[in-house]
Amino acid sequence: MIAYIVRRLLYALPILIGVNLITFVLFFVVNSPDDMARMQLGAKRVTPEAIEKWKAERGYDRPLVWNAEAPGLAKATDTILFDKSVRMFAFDFGRADDGRDIALEIRSRMGPSLAIALPTFLLGLFVTVSFALLLVFFRHTALDVGGVVLCVVAMSISGLFYIIGGQYLVSKVWNLVPISGYAPGLDAARFLILPVLISVIGGIGSSARWYRTLFLEEINKDYVRTARAKGLSELRVLFRHVLKNAMIPILTGVVVVIPMLFMGSLLLESFFGIPGLGSYTIDAINAQDFAVVRSMVFIGSVLYIVGLLLTDISYTLVDPRVRLN
Amino acid sequence: MALCVSGLAWALSGCGEVWNDPYPAAERGQNILYTAFTDRPKHLDPVQSYSENEITFTAQIYQAPLQYHYLKRPFELIPATAEAIPVPRFYDAAGRELPANAPAADIAESVYEIRIRPGIRYQPHPALARDEAGHYLYHEGGPGERRTLYDFERTGTRELEADDYAYQIRRLAHPALHSPVFGLMSDYIVGLKEYGDTLKAAAKSLPPGQWLDLRQYDLPGVEVVDRHTYRIRLKGKYPQFLYWLTMPFFAPVPWEADRFHSQPGMAERNLTLDWYPIGTGPYMLSQNDPNARMVLTRNPHFSGETYPCEGEPGDREAGLLADCGKPLPLTDQVVFMREKEQIPYWNKFLQGYYDASGISSDSFDQAVQFGQSGEVSLSDDMKAQGIDLQTSVSTSTMYMGFNMADPLVGGLGERGRKLRQAIGIALDQEEFISIFLNGRGLPAQSPLPPGIFGHRDGRDGVNGYMYDWVDGQPQRKSIDVAKKLLAEAGWPDGRDAKTGEPLVINLDTTGTGLGSKARIDWLTKQFDRLGVQLVVRSTDYNRFQDKIRKGAAQLFFWGWNADYPDPENFLFLLYGPQSKVKAQGENASNYENAEFDRLFERMKAMENGPERQAVLDRMLDILRHDAPWVWGFHPKSYGLEHSWVHNRKPSNVANNTMKYTRVDPALRDAKRAEWNRPVRWPLFAFAALLLALVWPAWRHWKRSEQARAVEGQA
């Protein structure tokens, strides 16, 4: 297995280089270093000299990908692409365009992002799996049909509606929790209740339908019939046998998400005032801060690759037939 | 799930009688002003902070030598740390002193001598901490294990000196800082440009990361006379310089702060002057988390300033003089919470968790209603909550610019001018303001908004090329007049009189989305009335800016917020040498009129008075005739405040105004409790709903467990 993991990690390198390259091209198709300088220096009284100075200080005064005037290898290395990208492979993200340390910012924002993403993930998984099993338990009854209709309705509603509606009803009309905000430590709980609840409710529709389909596929198989014939109760059949055998497709979708929890949620963080990485990314895109955008895309890519690797490893845990070679 | 409900009730029960209070319980009853910010400030270094979201903080912390009177209108300069408003002395090229009324052309140099009040002290700061022997405690050794400025065990203070002001002016030229006013000030402050070059060379010769001591290099334009007096030498005459002396660019910075922050390891932990300001003002930054919450706390060393005792007529009746003579600031803290979205911000204001709020378009109908004669008042819901409405016309102008370098719409010839005038009449600003701004705007008659010297109200101030004066008020000229002008321009019914080709005008805009679509549809309809085809070229902001810089746009939206209340700060937007294409200046229309430029140079150096008014009248007449802009509107700002907030007066120019605001915390707490009583029944209903779902499931399961395979057996 270790050889497999090492091989997969080596495969990740060209993927990361590719992602880096694509981010670079996409970013600089839309922005030029001059645009970035203007964005940072403000709209009023910006002189061409100030722009040149800003670019020179941050190394944006060099050619993007090829420096024809440089000697030898420097033709490729004395460029914005090389300078800004290579350091990231050592997880040295440098400074944002406003001069602040990116690694420090990421570390301080990871906590709030996880504080909202982790309970949402765990509670969401528990609720949706339970709800899907409940529907399967009541399969071919009015409750099952009603549940499926409810799922379709729930997944047809925009996430924004849940957020605005939830804030209005729970915080404004019923005055039960703060509308938005964040506090460190245990005090964070009262700010997180509503966004977590909204995320879970908003995610039930699509996930529960998907899991229900998986469970229904399993429940008609021979081993389930055998289990019932042995005299096992329906609950034991569902939780001990059906759930376990439906785990592989569930894990495919779930484990890969775990590392991405660090990246936060763009919409939720924005509406609930959670100072996490999701809002950091949005702010950076709005401010055309390439240093932050490329760092966040890079971290996202790394976490996604780790997630895929964890998924593969988790297969071996739930299905002994799977071998990582 | 029932456990979850119990957990929810438990988590909230710790919040007392109000469950949705977003602030710590310890803050209840405290003398705190609560407000919000949307965008995190990029720069808190006074040499760089310029945008509104930055200056909101820096203006409360740093003290420039001058400030605006809080209540008087038109705006009046008064001393802040200075003992008096400096009166410039003028010198000719030979160094001879000239009388105060000397012609501007004779003046080679103006000298401003500023004497600051003794006894002003800095906020507590580790950069100023010293041991018993007088050595600075934290100028060597870096941050160590400390993560924030508040982790330093000891702080110190010292008296404000004239040298600190001189040091900050030197910082304008610092090669690693990007002061937006360095270019402008280099044109005026003697030797500042050369000083910048010297610093650049010096910085290159230093090892990376080493402190560049600005005091080592001579700046001839700034001279420290004694401990409390300094002089600034300007090239020529520049009366507007006094307004610059109200801004944080000219606030004091102690050299110790630069020395402290330049140590290795500081910047890596964001321990920079850009992140932690140090000032002498009424507040100091005591919590700095620009992602969530920033807190200004009363500076314990601030003293000597009191609430004003005189204002403009009506201020006394409005209760704005009730705190006359009280020491400032009137609140102990100002808490800024970050709200990126309007809906939560608005709802929290209605719950009493923000003391004041603007009115977004989404909530306008909820907040404001119009009477039969168009007068604005609060909605009944707002009145019931005791909320007050404050309105004011901003010192801003929004316009649609023609690119005067464009062969079709530009030029000073009759063809282009009449075309522009026709378009100016056709674009009904009154209708635009009514439809898209909920009436929050004043149609512009010129670039000068009300409150700026040179602006005239009534008949005298009407743009006769666009309006008629009917029944005591301006009335936009009819579309027939516009069509006639268009025909005279060679485009009868929107077609070329010679070739019959349709007239097509391109509008460059950054607008996308639903709101923009409605505006563009409205514009297209207005142009249709003239028979002119409007082609809208939507693009992103960067490309748009690029087109303006290169003069590739034909028609575009633009706007300007005043830096200071002087007509020069608006009319320079049309001054030829400021042309965007030629000089990368602020004249986005690239308008050039020799007479206007001549008058501008004269007006700029004049004192306010009848003579300056006459010059301004002529300048505005030239602009109205040439019509380089479609005169748009001056935005009206609408603000709401709760009944426990006092002394707020809209000011679009002064920024250091938080010290004047007073709150009544007891009333606020009572109102919050009244408005935010938790409604508990949904919790029980939720628990009951869960039970209602679980109960039949459990019954079904029990039944199926106990059911026999074949009925009737056994």
Instruction: Please write the tens of the pLDDT for every residue from B503-517.
Output: 999 999 886 655 688
pLDDT band at A57 (very low <50, low <70, confident <90, very high): confident
Is residue B107 a contact partner of residue B91, using CB atoms and an 8 Å limit? yes
Extract the tokens encoding B237.
Answer: 């005459």
A175·B351 Cβ contact <8 A? yes
Q: Measured between CB atoms, which of B12, B184, B563 is closest to A190?
A: B12
Is residue B181 a contact partner of residue B172, using CB atoms and an 8 Å limit? yes
| Nearest CA among B521, B557, B523, B524 for reference residue B539 | B557
pLDDT (0 to 100) of residue B93:
95
Window B:513-572, CB contacts with A under 8 Å: 540, 542, 545-546, 563
**Chain A: closest CA distance from residue B480 (Å):** 39
Mean pLDDT of B120-140: 96
**Chain A: closest CA distance from residue B248 (Å):** 16
Question: Which chain A residues are within 8 Å of B274, Cβ to Cβ?
Answer: 98-99
Is residue B647 a contact partner of residue B330, using CB atoms and an 8 Å limit? yes
A179·B50 Cβ contact <8 A? no
Question: Which chain B residues are within 8 Å of A177, Cβ to Cβ?
Answer: 12, 19-20
| Nearest CA among B299, B395, B385, B288 for reference residue B346 | B385
Question: Which chain B residues are within 8 Å of A284, Cβ to Cβ?
Answer: none
Distance of CA B95 to the CA centre of its chain: 40
Element (H, E) at B534: strand B533-538
Mean pLDDT of B215-238: 96
Give the span between the Cα atoms of B366 and A152, in whole angstroms. 34
pLDDT (0 to 100) of residue B709:
63
Window A:138-157, CB contacts with B under 8 Å: 138, 143
pLDDT (0 to 100) of residue A30:
76
Give the span between the Cα atoms of B69 and B76, in whole angstroms. 5
Omega before B329 within 30 of 0, i.e. cis:
yes
Q: Is pLDDT of B2 > 80?
A: no
For the ranges A250-264, B304-318, B376-390, the lowest mean pLDDT is seen at: A250-264
Between A242 and B284, the higher pLDDT residue:
B284
pLDDT band at B107 (very low <50, low <70, confident <90, very high): very high
Give the span between the Cα atoms of A209 and B134, in whole angstroms. 73
Q: Measured between CB atoms, which of A32, A138, A164 is closest to B700?
A: A138
Residues in chain A: 325
CA A201, A204, A209: angle at the middle one, nearest 5? 160
Is residue B324 a contact partner of residue B309, using CB atoms and an 8 Å limit? yes
Backbone φ, ψ for residue A72 (5° rounding):
50, -130
Mean pLDDT of B19-31: 94
Task: Please give the share of chain A, as a percent, with pLDDT higher than 70.
Answer: 99
For residue A42, the chain B residue with the least C-alpha distance is B51
**Chain A: closest CA distance from residue B206 (Å):** 15
Give the span between the Cα atoms of B294 and B415, in whole angstroms. 56
Window B:163-182, CB contacts with A under 8 Å: 175-176, 178, 180-182
Give B16's contacts (C-beta < 8 A, 6+ positions apart). B25
pLDDT (0 to 100) of residue B714:
42
pLDDT band at B713 (very low <50, low <70, confident <90, very high): very low
Q: Measured between CB atoms, which of B182, B343, B705 is closest to A233?
A: B705
> Strands B376-378, B89-91: parallel, antiparallel or unpaired by DSSP?
unpaired
* Partner residues linked to B33 by β-bridges: B334
Output the CA torsion sign for B414, B417, B421, B426.
positive
Backbone φ, ψ for residue B15 (5° rounding):
-95, 5
pLDDT (0 to 100) of residue A93:
87
Give the span between the Cα atoms of B286 and B149, in whole angstroms. 10
Q: Is pLDDT of B681 > 90?
A: yes
Is residue B449 a contact partner of residue B464, using CB atoms and an 8 Å limit? no
> Hey, is the C-beta of A272 within 8 angstroms of any chain B C-beta?
yes
Question: Which chain A residues are within 8 Å of B6, Cβ to Cβ?
Answer: none
Task: Please give the share of chain B, as a percent, with pLDDT higher than 70.
Answer: 96
Average pLDDT, chain B: 92
Q: Is A5 left (phi over 0), alpha (psi -120 to 50) or beta?
A: alpha
pLDDT (0 to 100) of residue B157:
97
For residue B54, the chain A residue with the least C-alpha distance is A42
pLDDT (0 to 100) of residue B126:
97
Give A145's contacts (C-beta < 8 A, 6+ positions apart). none
Residue type, B482: A
Extract the tokens encoding B137.
Answer: 């405690």
Mean pLDDT of A77-101: 84
Residues in chain B: 714
Q: Is pLDDT of A216 > 70?
A: yes
Q: Is pLDDT of B705 > 80?
A: no
pLDDT band at B706 (very low <50, low <70, confident <90, very high): confident
* Partner residues linked to B97 by β-bridges: B91
Three-state DSSP class for residue B693:
helix
A99·B274 Cβ contact <8 A? yes
Is residue B248 a contact partner of residue B55, using CB atoms and an 8 Å limit? yes
Backbone φ, ψ for residue A258 (5° rounding):
-55, -55
- Rounded alpha-carbon distances, angstroms, from residue B703 to A132, A134, B6, B69, B699: 21, 15, 30, 82, 6
Q: Is pLDDT of B613 > 90?
A: yes
Is residue B263 a contact partner of residue B129, using CB atoms and an 8 Å limit? no
Is residue A166 a contact partner of residue A197, using CB atoms and an 8 Å limit? yes
Q: Which long-range contacts (C-beta less than 8 Å, at least 24 apart) are formed by B321-324?
A: B321/B71, B322/B646, B322/B647, B323/B646, B323/B647, B323/B660, B323/B662
List, as one string, the DSSP characters of A18-77: HHHHHHHHHHHHH--HHHHHHHHH-SSS--HHHHHHHHHHHTTTS-SS--TTS-TTHHHH
CB neighbour burial string for B431-464, b if at least 16 within 10 angstroms, e if fewer = ebbeeebbbbbbbbbbbbbbbbbbbbeeeebbbe
Is residue B484 a contact partner of residue B530, using CB atoms and an 8 Å limit? no
ipTM reported for the complex, 2 dp: 0.86
Extract the tokens encoding B482.
Answer: 């516009």
For residue A193, the chain B residue with the least C-alpha distance is B8
> Hey, is the C-beta of B679 within 8 angstroms of any chain A C-beta?
yes
Is residue A46 a contact partner of residue B180, using CB atoms and an 8 Å limit? yes
Mean pLDDT of B545-568: 91
pLDDT (0 to 100) of residue A43:
66
Is pTM beyond 0.80 here?
yes
Element (H, E) at A125: helix A102-137
**Chain A: closest CA distance from residue B685 (Å):** 13
pLDDT band at B467 (very low <50, low <70, confident <90, very high): very high
DSSP state of B159: B
Instruction: Give the number of other CB atoms < 10 A from CB of residue B289.
Output: 16
Between A145 and B8, the higher pLDDT residue:
A145
Instruction: Give the number of other CB atoms < 10 A from CB of residue B279.
Output: 27
Q: Is pLDDT of A304 > 80?
A: yes
pLDDT (0 to 100) of residue B283:
98
Three-state DSSP class for residue B354:
coil
CA B625, B629, B630: angle at the middle one, nearest 5? 95
> Hey, is the C-beta of A280 within 8 angstroms of any chain B C-beta?
yes
Extract the tokens encoding B686.
Answer: 């939720």
* Partner residues linked to B226 by β-bridges: B229
pLDDT (0 to 100) of residue B604:
94
